[in-house]
Amino acid sequence: MLNFTPTGLISDFFAALAPYMPPPPPDALPPPLWGSEEHVRGLFGDRVESLEMSRDEYVEKVESPGAYVDLFKRTFGPVVATYASLADDPERLAALDRDFLEFATRTNRGSADGPAEYHYEYLLVVARKRGSAS
């Protein structure tokens, strides 16, 4: 599994969107927990023969922060659904556009003249079931 870490950019990404998304169920755990080694070890415990984890970085590149926002508005399910849910509320839709672009501008690690770069830390998890062939 490749899981974004809770301390990486994915948490800032979802924090920018959270005020506009419906609240999760009360007992739901945040998906970025799957990027925590401690959490993954707790989930798998001794049910696996081996559990290997390593951290790395995934970099997304687009022409500009605005292009990054547009890409996610068209292709990333949670963002598409959030925008669709606000279709009848132009003020909140404009606020979401503003906040999402602010996030994309603030977190851009590319050069000022482009392309924009977004660095997402992830945890690579390789687990083998007990009794499975290597």
- Provide the residue ranges of all domains of the chain, joining segments of one domain with +: 2-22+30-129
CB neighbour class for 5 (10 Å; exposed up to 12, middle 13-18, buried from 19):
buried
Other Cβ atoms closer than 10 A to 82: 20
Query: How confident is the model at residue 133, as a pLDDT?
Result: 62
pLDDT tens, position by position, 76-112:
999 999 999 999 999 999 999 999 999 999 999 998 8
The b-or-e profile of 8-47 (16+ CB within 10 A means b, else e) is bbbeebbebbeebeeeeeeeeeeebebbbeebbeeeeeee
For residue 114, name the pLDDT band (cuts at 50, 70, 90): confident
pTM over 0.85: yes
User: Residue 92 phi/psi, 5° resolution?
Assistant: -70, -35
pLDDT tens, position by position, 12-59:
999 999 999 988 899 998 888 999 999 999 999 889 999 999 999 999
